[in-house]
Each structure stands twice: as C-alpha cells, then as structure tokens.
Structure 1
Amino acid sequence: MSTPEPAAEPTQTYEQAREELADVVRKLEAGGLTLEESLGLWERGEQLAEICQHWLDRARERLAATSADA
C-alpha cells in the first residue's frame, strides 16, 4: 500500500521536512520504541521523504526550464 501524494504545495519547506526526517531517523536508530511507535515514525518518515522529493522535483524542473531558455 502506497502513501498518499503530498499536497500540490506542501506547507513545510524542504529544509523543515529534511530536518524532521533526520529527527525521525535518529529516533528509529536509537530504538527503545514500541512497534506502534516505530510504525508511526516510519509512516511519518515516508511522508517527509515525499515532501522532500516534491521540492527536489520542483527545483529540477526550474533548472531545466532555465536551461531551455538559455
């Protein structure tokens, strides 16, 4: 089952999502969580990764458009 697509324009910036994702990874790596807590963090990490990918894709599109105009 895949996670839903993020909104057209996420409310978090790339930097905010990346920092929260790093925090999620740190918590998962530290361990000591219940299965439910781990799954919840994993799912949030997937959402954050999609937000980061959204911003990276937009940046790639802007660069391609700029290169095409040059």
Structure 2
Amino acid sequence: MKKRWISWWITNCFWAMLFVLGTIMVWTRKVDGAGAIQTPEVKLISFVVLVLAFVIPLVIQSVWLVVNVRTSK
C-alpha cells in the first residue's frame, strides 16, 4: 500500500472512532453541560447536529478517496 492509502485509512479510523464516541456520549448522558435533562427528542436533535458536523469530514474524505483512486491507476 502506498503512503497516501495508509494515511487515508488511519484518518478514516480516527473519524469513525470520534463519531462512535460522540454518539455514545449523546445517547447515554442524562443531563447535558447546561444542566438540561435529556429527553429522547433532545437526544435525537443532538445526534442530528453531530451528524451534520461530520458531513464536512465525510466530504473531504470522499474527495481524498477519489484522488487516491485516480492517482493509483
């Protein structure tokens, strides 16, 4: 494997672990940092915000994947 593929996989693993840890934190907490009680609806809104925050790294990783595929041919 070339260096750019290895770095792509390492970066993807980092973002995946960060997303999983953020999801676990959102769904298991009872009270948020401001002291508001977390209802299922509020947890869902927090999860949607987390997903939207991870759209930017997803787009960057997708572009990086396309570049890697085209340059490795």
Bigger Cα Rg: 2
TM-score (norm 2): 0.48
TM-score (norm 1): 0.49
Higher relative contact order (CA 8 A, sep 6+): 1
